[in-house]
Amino acid sequence: MNTLESLRFDNVYGGLPGIFHSRHQPELLENQYLIHFNTRVADLLELDPGELSRPDFVSLIGGTSAWPGTDPLAMCYSGHQFGQYVPRLGDGRALLLGQVRTRGNRLWDLQLKGSGRTLYSRQGDGKAVLRSTIREYLCSAAMTGLGIPTTQALALFGSDEHVYREQLETGAMLIRVAPGHLRFGSFEFLFYQNRYDDLKILADFALDHYYPVLKDSREPYLSLFSTIVDLTARLIAQWQSVGFCHGVMNSDNMSIHGITIDYGPFGFMDRYQAGHICNHSDRTGRYAFNRQGPVGLFNLGCLAQAMLPLFDQSPEQAVEKATGELMKYEGIFDDACLKSKRAKLGLHKETDEDGRLYDDLLTVMERDQLDFTNTFRMLCSPGSGRNGMPCSADLTDWLTRYRKRLEIEETNGRDRRRAMERVNPRYVLRNWMAEIAIRKARDEMDYSEIDKLVGLLARPFDEQPDFQVYASPPPDWAARLSVSCSS
C-alpha cells in the first residue's frame, strides 16, 4: 500500500506535444476540506486509504506544497454538442494531476474537477458546485456497484467559497479516477485543425497505453475504432438495462474507453417512460432515454470522421472501412440489449419472442406508470414481491404470458430468482436520494447520508433490510425535482 508520496506517477499524457494540453496549477477553494473518500477507489490505486484523511491532503493538492510526481494539465478536446461542432472545448474546470502506474502495470488517471480556470474555460469560472459534485461522486459509486464501466471518484471536497449558478452556492472539488480521459472529441479536435500528424500521435498513444494488443492487428487504427464501437454499444446497452439516462451525450462526453463519463443532469428513471428526458435544458429530447442507442451511433460517426485520415490514404477506401465498422454498431447494441432483456426476465432458453415479451412489459409499465427498477425486482419473486403494487388487467395478462413462457425453462425457480436478482438491482441512485444527501450536506454540513449511500450502492443487488426506504419511488416532496445542465 502506498502513501500519497510513494504513488508511482508515470505521466505519459504530459509527454505529448503542447497542442494536446495546457499546464496550470490547481487553485484550492476557500477553506477547502475533505468531505468523503472512497476506500474502494483507493484500493485500485494501491493507496493506503488512511492517507486520505491526512491533515495535509488538501494542501498537497493545491499549489502550496505540490503533490510529488504530479504534473497538472488541462486536456484539449472539441466535440459535437447537441449536434453542432464546437471547435474548442477542453478541460475548462478540470486538471489531469498525473497518471499512476500500479504494480500490476495498470495506468490510472487522477483528475481534479472544480480546480479553477484553464486555457479552455471560455466564459466559465472553472469551478464546480457542491450539489453537482455530490451527484457525480455518488453516481460513480452507484455505477461501479452495478458493474457498469465508469469513471470513479476517489475523494470529495467542500469549501466556503461562493460560486454563482442560478443562485449562490458553494464550490466543491472531486478527484476523478479513470483508465484515461480521452474522449471522441480529443480526436475531433486534431482532425478539424487539419493536424493529421498529431492525430496519428494520439492514436498511437491510445494503442500503446490502452490497447497494446491491437498493435499486432493488420490495421491497428481500424481495430482501435472497431473496439471503441464495440465498447460503446455495450456500454449504452447496459445503461438501457438499468433505466439510466446520461443526459448530455455530446461527443466530448464520450470516452474512448467505453466508460460512462461526465455526470451532469443524469438520472435513473423512477416511473418508466420510453422518451424520458432527464436534462431540463434538452428541449427537443435529443438525449431522451430511448434515443441513447442511436445517439451512440451518431457520436461514433463523429469519431469515424475524425479518424478517417488514419484508416487509408484513399478517402474512398477510408470511408468504406469506417462505414463497415459503423454498420456493426446496431447489431452489437441490439444483441447486448437482447441478452440483458433475457437475463432481466430470467430466460435461459432463447426464443424469437423474448425481445417482444420484454418490450411489451415496457409498454405496460409506461401505460400503468410503473417504477422501472421495482417492477423488474418484483418479477424476481412474483409470488411475494407484488405487495402494494397496482396490477392492471394489462399487467395481469402480461404476467400470464410470462408464466407460460417460463414453462419451457429448465432452471428451477430458486436458481432463476437468484440469477435475476444479480441483474435487477434493488437500489439505484434515484434523484431524490441524491437530493437528501445534498440538502443535508448543504444545510447542516452533515455528510452521513453520502457515506450511507456509498455503502448501500456498492451492493445494489443485495437486500439490505435497514435501507428498504431507498427502494421506494420518489416521496411527494421530490416528485418534481428537476435537473439542469448547470453544475
Q: Which of 133, 253, 260, 431 binds ligand AMP (CB under 6 A)?
A: 253
Does position 124 interact with ligand AMP (CB under 6 A)? The reply is yes
SS percent in the chain: helix, strand, coil, step 5: 45, 15, 40
Dig out the grid coordinates for 347 from the structure: 430466460
Minimum distance, C-beta of residue 483 to ligand AMP, in the bound complex (Å) = 13
Residues contacting residue 63 through CB under 8 Å, at least 6 positions apart? 25, 26, 27, 28
Q: Which DSSP helix (H) or strand (E) runs through 80?
A: strand 79-81
Nearest to 424 by CA among 471, 465, 354: 471
∠ CA 369-262-147, rounded to 5°:
65
- Binding-site string for Mg ion from residue 218 to residue 257, where x marks contact by CB under 5 A and - marks none: -----------------------------------x----
The one catalytic residue in 71, 91, 109, 252 is 252
User: 75 has which bridge partners?
Assistant: 21
Does position 91 interact with ligand AMP (CB under 6 A)? The reply is yes
Beta strands (DSSP E) in 261-400 are: 267-268
Minimum distance, C-beta of residue 252 to Mg ion, in the bound complex (Å) = 5
Dig out the grid coordinates for 378 from the structure: 418484483
Give me the sign of the Cα torsion angle 83, 88, 94, 97.
positive
Does position 126 interact with ligand AMP (CB under 6 A)? The reply is yes
Window of 89-97, 353-361, 395-403, 464-472 that interacts with ligand AMP by CB under 6 A? 89-97
Q: Which residue in this structure is represented by grid cell 461501479? A: 144
Which 3 state secondary structure label does DSSP give 485?
coil
Window of 25-33, 120-128, 216-224, 344-352 that interacts with ligand AMP by CB under 6 A? 120-128
Dig out the grid coordinates for 478 from the structure: 421530490
Q: Kindly tell me which of 165 and 339 has the beta carbon lying closer to ligand AMP.
A: 165
Task: Quote the CA–CA distance of 140 and 380 in Å, as a whole number.
Answer: 26
Dig out the grid coordinates for 119 from the structure: 486555457
Task: Report how far apart, in Å, the C-alpha atoms of 401 and of each of 5, 290, 395 are.
Answer: 61, 25, 10
Q: What is the DSSP string of 201-233?
A: HHHHHHHHHH-GGGGGSSSHHHHHHHHHHHHHH
Does position 87 interact with ligand AMP (CB under 6 A)? The reply is no
Q: Kindly tell me which of 133 and 226 has the beta carbon lying closer to Mg ion.
A: 133
Residues contacting residue 486 through CB under 8 Å, at least 6 positions apart? 132, 165, 166
Window of 77-85, 258-266, 420-428, 467-475 that interacts with Mg ion by CB under 5 A? 258-266
Does position 127 interact with ligand AMP (CB under 6 A)? The reply is yes
Decide which of ligand AMP, Mg ion, none touches 264; Cβ closer than 5 to 8 Å per partner kind.
ligand AMP
Minimum distance, C-beta of residue 79 to ligand AMP, in the bound complex (Å) = 8
Does position 92 interact with ligand AMP (CB under 6 A)? The reply is yes
- The residues in 257-296 that bind ligand AMP, with binding defined as CB under 6 A, are 262, 264
Q: Kindly tell me which of 26 and 126 has the beta carbon lying closer to ligand AMP.
A: 126
Task: Quote the CA–CA distance of 435 and 452 in Å, as a whole number.
Answer: 13
Window of 30-38, 122-130, 292-300, 319-327 that interacts with ligand AMP by CB under 6 A? 122-130
Decide which of Mg ion, ligand AMP, none touches 127; Cβ closer than 5 to 8 Å per partner kind.
ligand AMP
Does position 89 interact with ligand AMP (CB under 6 A)? The reply is yes
- The residues in 37-56 that bind ligand AMP, with binding defined as CB under 6 A, are none
Does position 150 interact with ligand AMP (CB under 6 A)? The reply is no
User: 81 has which bridge partners?
Assistant: 84
Whether residue 359 lies in the annotated active site? no
> Which residues contribute to the site for Mg ion (CB under 5 A)?
253, 262
Catalytic residues: 252
> Which residues contribute to the site for ligand AMP (CB under 6 A)?
89-93, 120-121, 124-127, 248, 253, 262, 264
